[in-house]
Amino acid sequence: MTTIDTDPDTGLDPLEFAVTRNLTAKSNADRDAILASPGFGQSFTDHMVDICWSVRGGWHRPRVSPYGPISLDPAAAVLHYGQEIFEGIKAYRHADGSVHTFRPDQNGRRLQRSARRLALPELPVPYFLQSLRELIAVDGAWVPSGADQSLYLRPFMFAKEAFLGVRPAHKVAYYLIASPAGAYFKGGVKPVSIWLSEDYSRAGKGGTGAAKTGGNYAASLLPQSEAYENECDQVVFLDQDRNVEELGGMNVVFVYKDGTIVTPQSDSILEGITRDSLLQLARDRGHHVEGRNVSLTEWREGVASGDIVEVFACGTAAVVTPIGTLKGRDFIDEQPSGTLALELREELTNIQYGRAEDKHGWLYRLDA
């Protein structure tokens, strides 16, 4: 196991992971072939991490094991009532070979907030961080070194108790798996077209919109199919008052003519760490940033009048995606194209890949 001291904030001692090596791990040649063109979410590393939780025993039996199928009782609560949460975070290889991740404390705290909303136990942030380091300790060679490549880390937690009664499960599992990821946009960043979902919403007031939970994604799949049928790449969701929420898995940001940056903020929107970081970089450049409601009318009129000069979406997987078109049942609004989104994207990825100074202390080394 990696050595970590007692956590100064929580007083927690590090967990002692039992490590079982994968005896059929990919050969260097097979791994290199995958890393040459990894795509997204298709291939997985040789190992995974899991930690059990029970009402009686708390967090226990931390393990690093060969990657493989999970055995679950057919009555496991997650399969029936969807008590599940997840995270998404990347590991980046720097030019000197070292491996870093980006603001993992934020993901650890968001996993705790999601857990609270889904009545799951809160994994202490030091355990979350340790799980990332443990996986990199055995699978560090899976962090690719090509341009815009990364190792996508997928922590998740679910109710595994075999019980069909409806209540928070008494047995839960936390897992971490990892999947090498190629450049999201092959041949440069392309603006996306967005379908305005009028018939479906992704979240409601007091619902689970601010939690990273599979159910939100399940609810977004049908509207996403509607987007494809209408030749759009992604969906944008509105709230009950016709304010803009977000895409199925990315936050939305508006840039105004006077340099002001506005992003929808409400308790039904997932608070993206990419968005938070881009907005900090924008503030560093002197932009005024507002988190507030943005109605569909404000968006459409702002574009028509020239008040809004750029619209983009952001999230860990794609980082920043300019929005090129907004399409509704009876309109198509071409979106203005600007340069700020791509400048901020470049600035952020330069920090993540170690090519620019990390002024905010966002990087966290995983392999030392």
> Could you tell me which stretch among 179-187, 249-257, 296-304, 341-349 binds ligand PLP (CB under 6 A)?
249-257
Residue 184 near residue 193 (C-beta atoms within 8 A): no
* 155 near ligand PLP, judged by CB under 6 A: no
For residue 6, give the amino acid letter: T
Specify the residue, 111 or 138, whose C-beta has the smaller distance to ligand PLP: 111
Specify the residue, 47 or 212, whose C-beta has the smaller distance to ligand PLP: 212
Query: Measuring CA to CA, how many Å separate 141 from each of 28, 94, 147, 258, 285?
Result: 9, 13, 16, 46, 36
Which positions ≥6 away from 81 have C-beta within 8 Å?
A: 159, 166
* 266 near ligand PLP, judged by CB under 6 A: no
The distance of closest approach from Cβ of residue 323 to ligand PLP in the complex, given in angstroms and rounded to an integer, is: 14
Whole-angstrom distance, CA of residue 52 vs CA of residue 61: 6
For residue 270, give the amino acid letter: L
Q: Which of 177, 232, 255, 273 binds ligand PLP (CB under 6 A)?
A: 273
Tokens of 171: 């047995």
Query: Measuring CA to CA, how many Å separate 295 from each of 120, 245, 326?
Result: 34, 9, 14
Chain positions 278 to 307 lying near ligand PLP, rule: CB under 6 A, are none
* 250 near ligand PLP, judged by CB under 6 A: yes
Tokens of 263: 């992003």
Chain positions 313 to 352 lying near ligand PLP, rule: CB under 6 A, are 315-316
Alpha helices of 260-310 — where are they, by DSSP H?
273-284, 296-305
Chain positions 173 to 232 lying near ligand PLP, rule: CB under 6 A, are 212
Specify the residue, 34 or 153, whose C-beta has the smaller distance to ligand PLP: 153
The distance of closest approach from Cβ of residue 91 to ligand PLP in the complex, given in angstroms and rounded to an integer, is: 14
> Could you tell me which stretch among 28-36, 112-120, 265-273, 281-289 binds ligand PLP (CB under 6 A)?
265-273
The distance of closest approach from Cβ of residue 271 to ligand PLP in the complex, given in angstroms and rounded to an integer, is: 7
> Could you tell me which stretch among 184-192, 272-280, 282-290, 294-302 binds ligand PLP (CB under 6 A)?
272-280
Q: Which of 121, 249, 322, 336 binds ligand PLP (CB under 6 A)?
A: 249
> Could you tell me which stretch among 27-35, 242-250, 291-299, 359-367 binds ligand PLP (CB under 6 A)?
242-250
> Could you tell me which stretch among 27-35, 119-127, 132-140, 246-254 binds ligand PLP (CB under 6 A)?
246-254
Specify the residue, 138 or 211, whose C-beta has the smaller distance to ligand PLP: 211
| Binding residues for ligand PLP, total number by CB under 6 A | 13
Specify the residue, 46 or 101, whose C-beta has the smaller distance to ligand PLP: 101
Owner of token pair 């689970």: 208
Whole-angstrom distance, CA of residue 243 vs CA of residue 247: 13
The distance of closest approach from Cβ of residue 227 to ligand PLP in the complex, given in angstroms and rounded to an integer, is: 15
Q: Which of 45, 130, 179, 251 binds ligand PLP (CB under 6 A)?
A: 251
Element (H, E) at 18: strand 18-19
Residue 100 near residue 229 (C-beta atoms within 8 A): no
Chain positions 37 to 96 lying near ligand PLP, rule: CB under 6 A, are 88
Element (H, E) at 65: strand 58-66
* 270 near ligand PLP, judged by CB under 6 A: yes
Sign of torsion over alpha carbons 223, 228, 230, 235: positive
List of residues contacting ligand PLP (CB under 6 A):
88, 212, 246, 249-251, 270, 272-275, 315-316
